[in-house]
Structures are given as structure tokens and as C-alpha cells.
Chains A and B, each alone.
Chain A
Amino acid sequence: MNPDLTLPPPRRVLDGERVLRVNWLPGSDRLRGLCHCGAEAEASDPVEMWEWLLAHPDHPAGGPVEPPASGPLPAPPAHLVTDPL
């Protein structure tokens, strides 16, 4: 059991042998992923969570990539439109 995991494990409804699971608690910022091989990790970004699970059997050590929590960000770009509504 990984002591770093803060969320409960995912529910198991599907009974396939190669099911990937992600649990989320609404209100929480974390996702908990569980591979069919037993590997599990938490993440704060669903894209990175799926990337990590789908890397089976080579789940990256250290868990999914976390977005940088601080530091300057570039200014958001304008949203370009070629054909206005």
C-alpha cells in the first residue's frame, strides 16, 4: 500500500482482466489511478493520469507528470477567429 495515496481505491464494476481505473472525489483535486497489473498512483491532471496508466507495463517511476505549481506563465494567447458567428 502506497502511503502517498490520499484517495480511496476505484470501484470495480467491469470484470475484464485488463481494465484501467481512475477514481476521483468531486471536490478533491486528485485522481487515483489503478492499472490491471496492480500499479497505482495519484495525479492532478487526467491527461497525465491516463498517460501513466497506458504506459503499462512501463509505468514511469514517480507517477504521472505534475504541472508546475509555480513560476511565471506566458500571457494567454488571443483566440483567433476566421469565421465569426
Chain B
Amino acid sequence: MTSIVRNQWYVAAYGREIGRDLFSRTICGESILFWRTEAGPVTAMSDRCVHRRFPLSQQPSHLVGDTVVCGYHGFTYGADGGCVAVPGQTRVPRTARLKSYPVVEQDSFVWVFIGDAALADTTRIPRAPWLDLEGWTAVSGMEPLAARASLLVDNLMDLSHETYLHGGYIGTPEVANTPITTEVDDEQGIVYVSRHMADAECPPFYATSTGITGRITRWQDIEFTPPCLYKLHSRIAPVGVLPAADGSDPDAFHVEVVYAITPETESSTHDFWAVARDFALDDQGVSDFLAENNRTVVLQDVVALDVLEKVLTGEPDGYQELSINIDTGGLAARRIIARLAAQATGDAAPARTPAARTPDDARTPAAAGR
């Protein structure tokens, strides 16, 4: 049973990673070759020559204009993946073509559609405009994770682990009397977890970078569009300062933390991360701090989840886990992912939380998929 949800858009790379050099990345178990045509757009196709499966990203394979030439025998492919020349003969076999992939470059990301290309509706790609928007400055990176994507989803949907796994970095004590609301919009495929603190202590970083003195109104809103794009909207303002009625919010400081959770294989994940802000735009010190701080946090997660993946694969199926209130958002995310997976495979969508009830309140996540 695959854990990868097909017929979905996934972030494959940052736009800056792809140029006129051949670039390869495995997405959802598919080895994909990316390159830019001379006109600029990114194109994507299988990274294996149909002849003897030599990787087209492997030297001496190379680009000639808007064609890629296999470095083994010279099979030559166009930007649409079709073979335009083979060595030693004029006839190009009809089956000599590479699978091509729908690609969209948007918000600094290169998105690729995995699944039936006929279903690749570009309007379904979730947005993260702050990563490439006037008035915002962003830092970003990607860390390889030797763990299944669902472990990163669990991790990001529950901020309570910050106190333990990231103590001293982003851990913030839970503020009593500040409710956490989880909302699920099945039709839009969104899980939204919000915590709005009316009167909170200002962390030193924000005090320094924003100039706010005293206590703050602090909002933390998670918006996850399964299976790939996760956003943490963070708003900081002096106590009592709220957005205007028209939705503008000129007196607050905003940080958008974005993750793209892209399966590499069943048991490994590309952990894309980015942090955008609408203040101190030209302050390199702030950029450096945010980049280093966030990468440190990501790597702490990577270490923990890599171990967890090993543990999960080193035990029999049917292990038990227990969910408590902090898991409310994570459970909602799992359910949407299970529904998307069922839709993609043509199975009946699970109508309820995929939680098989078992005696003694035991949970069987392997069977229940949660």
C-alpha cells in the first residue's frame, strides 16, 4: 500500500535550482529531469533514456539548444520529451518518448504534477505569494529527510513539540486562556489551526527586529493544504493593535513560514522550508538570523524524524499509538490525506476519521492510516 498521494501537485525545486544545466530529482518515486528551455520556462521529463535507461542528467548527457542528448548513445529528446533523433538510422521508433510532466513555476517554487496529467488543473496549486513578492524578503532552503512524508506532516501540525524538540529556539510556552481552534474545510482541502494571543511576551528576536517594546498581540495560524504546502502565518503587533476593517494591517509585523512536504520515496522526503517577512527588508542580519535559526530547527526535526522512520520500519505492523488534544490538527490532516489518497486510487473515500476502533481503546495506525 503506497503512502504517496498521486494526482497532486508537488514542489520539486526552487526556481533558482534549475537553469541550463540538467537537474534531476526524485519526486514521489519518479526520477525526473528538469531543465530550462532557451526561452526560459522549466520543462520536466523522465530522467532515463528509453534506450538503455541511462540517466539523462548524468554527464556526458547534455543540452543542445532545446534538446537533451543522452550521454550514452546519443538519443536526443525535445522539450516535450519526444525523441527527435536516434543514432545510426533515420527512423525514430514511435515509442521513443519520455514521460513528460506538467510544470508550473510559481511563488519561487517549481511545481510538478504527479499522476494522470489530464487531471493537472493549475488552479489547484496552493499559493505562497510572499516568497516572491514586492515588499517581502524571503530566505529558504531544503533539507533531505530520511523519513516518510507523513511524519513531517504530524510534526508540523503540532506546535507543542517545539517546547521539547526545539527548546531554546522556537519553543514558546503555551499561553493559558488562549484557545487553539482547528478548522477543516473538506471542500477546499484545508486544515487551519489558529492560536491568537491577545497579550503575550515579545520574544527577543521580534523585539530587536521590529522595534516593538513591551507586550504584543501574537497570532499563529497554520494553514495546511494537503498533501504538500504548509504555511504558518505569524502576526506580531503591539498589544491591542488589530487589522483594519478593510483587511489591511499596516501596524503589524508579519512572518510567513512555508514548508513544502514532497515525498522523494515511500520513506524519504524533500523538506523545503522558507521564511518571508514584511519588515527589516534590507537587513541582512535579520535574513541571516532567520535562515540559520529556521535551518537549525528543521535539522532538529530531521534528526528526530530520521530516527523515528528507522524505528517504525523496525517493528511489526499494527503498532499502537495514542492521540491526545494536541493532535487535533494532525488528525484532521491525516484524514484529508487519506481521502485524497483514496480518490487517487479510486477507492471509496473514507467517510470518517480513519480510526479503526479496537478493544481497550487501542489504536492501530498501520491499519487505520492515522
Q: Which residues of A contact B (CB under 8 A)?
A: 7-8, 10-14, 16-27, 29, 31, 45-47, 49-51, 54-55, 67, 73-74, 77, 79-85
Whether the Cβ atoms of A79 and B315 lie closer than 8 Å is yes
17 residue pairs A–B, Cβ–Cβ below 8 Å: A11-B196, A13-B194, A20-B183, A21-B182, A22-B332, A23-B180, A24-B325, A25-B178, A26-B174, A27-B176, A47-B331, A54-B335, A54-B353, A73-B360, A79-B319, A80-B316, A85-B310
Contacts of A7 in B (CB 8 A): 179
Q: How far is the CA of A69 from the CA of B69 in the complex (A)?
A: 69
Is residue B175 contacting chain A, with contact meaning CB distance below 8 A?
Answer: yes
Chain A CB within 8 A of B190 CB: yes
- For the complex with contacts A14-B190, A85-B311, 13 further pairs of A-B residues with Cβ separation under 8 Å are A16-B190, A17-B187, A21-B184, A24-B328, A26-B174, A46-B324, A47-B323, A47-B353, A51-B352, A54-B335, A74-B360, A80-B315, A82-B314
Contact between B181 and A11 (Cβ–Cβ < 8 Å)?
yes
Q: Pick the 3 closest A-B CB pairs, nearest first.
A: A83-B314, A16-B185, A50-B353
Determine the chain B residues whose CB is within 8 A of the CB of A47 once the complex forms: 323, 331, 353, 355, 363
Name the B residues within 8 Å of A14 (CB-CB): 183, 185, 188, 190, 192
Residues of B within 8 A of A77 (CB): 320
Chain B residue total in the interface (Cβ 8 A): 44
Among A26, A55, A84, which residue has its beta carbon within 8 angstroms of that of B352? A55
Q: Does B177 contact A (CB under 8 A)?
A: yes
Could you tell me if B314 and A13 are in contact, using CB atoms closer than 8 angstroms? Answer: no
Tell me if B361 counts as interface (CB < 8 A to partner A): yes
- Tell me the minimal C-beta distance from B340 to chain A in angstroms: 16
From A12, A21, A27, A51, give the contact of B353 (CB < 8 A).
A51
Interface of A, secondary structure class, is loop
What is the bound-complex CA distance between A8 and B184, given in angstroms? 18
Q: Which A residue sits closest to B315, measured CB to CB?
A: A81
> In whole angstroms, how far apart are the Cα atoms of A25 and B335 in the complex?
22
| Inter-chain contacts of B313 with A (CB < 8 A) | 83
* Separation of A80 and B192 alpha carbons in the complex (Å): 36
User: Is B327 engaged at the interface, CB distance under 8 Å to the other chain?
Assistant: yes
B196 touches A46 (CB 8 A): no
Task: Using CB atoms and an 8 Å cutoff, list the residues of chain B in contact with chain A.
Answer: 174-188, 190, 192, 194, 196, 221, 307, 310-311, 313-316, 319-320, 323-325, 327-328, 331-332, 335, 351-353, 355, 360-361, 363
Q: Which residues of B sit under 8 angstroms from A17, Cβ to Cβ?
A: 187
A13, A31, A74: residue with the most chain B Cβ atoms closer than 10 Å: A13
- Expressed in whole angstroms, the Cα–Cα distance for A7 and B194 within the complex equals 16
Report the Cα distance A49→B352, complex, angstroms.
Answer: 11
For A20, what are the chain B residues with a Cβ–Cβ distance below 8 Å? 183-184, 186
CB pair A13 B183 closer than 8 Å: yes
Contact call A24/B182, Cβ cutoff below 8 A: yes
Is A22 within 8 A of B181, CB to CB?
Answer: yes
Cβ contacts under 8 Å, B184 to chain A: 19-21
What is the bound-complex CA distance between A79 and B319, given in angstroms? 8
Contact in complex: B352, A29 (CB < 8 Å)? no
CA distance A41 to B54 in the complex (A): 59
A47 to B363, CA, bound (A): 10
Provided the pairs A49-B328, A54-B352, A82-B314 are in contact, do residues A24 and B190 lie with their beta carbons within 8 angstroms?
A: no
Which B residues touch A80, using CB under 8 A? 315-316
Pick the residue among A19, A54, A67 that contacts B183 (CB under 8 A). A19
Chain A residues in 8 Å Cβ range of B174 = 26-27
* Chain A residue contacts of B328, Cβ below 8 A: 22, 24, 31, 46, 49-50
Q: Which residues of A contact B179 (CB under 8 A)?
A: 7-8, 10-11, 23-25
- In the assembly, what is the distance between CA of A19 and CA of B186, in Å? 7
A13 touching B192, Cβ below 8 Å? yes
Chain B nearest CB from A1 CB (Å) reads 18
Bound-state Cα–Cα, A55 to B72, Å: 58
Assembly CA distance A8 to B177 (angstroms): 10
**Most chain A CB neighbours (cut-off 10 Å) among B181, B221, B316, B328:** B181
